[in-house]
Amino acid sequence: MRLIDPILMELDREASTTRKCLERVPDDRLDWAPHPKSMTLGKLAWHLAMVPAQIGGAAAGNGLDLATAPKQPPVPATTKEIVDAFDANVDIAKKTLAKIDDAMAMAEWTLSMGGKPILTMPRIAFLRSILLNHSYHHRGQLSVYLRLLDVPVPSIYGPSADENPFLG
């Protein structure tokens, strides 16, 4: 088994749960935010949808300079567009990451700002912390947004108050 394979398996498994959360985002509430310091629902969902391809693509190189990184496109007008982008981005990420051999997985990867390093770590650690853990963090935020909007929250790692996969 290659070092990247567990990352790919986890990405695949978790994508279906993330998709369930994104599908529940109400189109008519994309501009809603729970607090003035919080992202809007649409921006949060869009960010979550964009992470797989953005981070997967960045991992294919030796690093990412935030000063020159492409900006995220504007939030789409519908949940369907967000979900469709997420599906496409997961596919792009899986294809990109599948090309990473063990040497590349362990090679150093650097995040910088204007040429000044912010962090350097093995590529595989970057993928674990930013592609996966970062996504789970935002998915958790999204589940709270859904709850505050009284939208049924899907089961994520076990039953939610709205969905229990163990009861058939």
Cross-strand partners of 65: 112
Condensed to tens digits (0 to 9), the pLDDT of residues 10-42 reads 999 999 999 999 999 999 999 999 999 999 999
Task: Give percent of the chain above pLDDT 70.
Answer: 99
Would the pLDDT of 124 be above 90? yes
Would the pLDDT of 72 be above 90? no
Average pLDDT, the chain: 95
Would the pLDDT of 80 be above 90? yes
What is the C-alpha to C-alpha distance for residues 152 and 160, in angstroms, rounded to an integer? 9
Residue 98: its pLDDT value, please? 97
What is the C-alpha to C-alpha distance for residues 99 and 101, in angstroms, rounded to an integer? 6
Strands 108-113 and 116-122: antiparallel
Would the pLDDT of 168 be above 70? no
Could you tell me the pLDDT band of residue 167, with boundaries at 50, 70 and 90?
confident
Could you tell me the pLDDT band of residue 163, with boundaries at 50, 70 and 90?
very high
Torsion angle of C-alpha atoms 70, 75, 79, 85, degrees rounded to 10: -10
Q: What is the mean pLDDT of residues 64-92?
A: 95
Contacts of 9 (CB under 8 A, 6+ apart): none
- What's the burial of 126, exposed, middle or buried (CB within 10 Å: 0-12/13-18/19+)? buried
Would the pLDDT of 157 be above 70? yes
Could you tell me the pLDDT band of residue 129, with boundaries at 50, 70 and 90?
very high
Cross-strand partners of 130: none
Identify the structural domains of the chain with CATH numbers, from first to last: 5-26+39-152 (1.20.120.450)
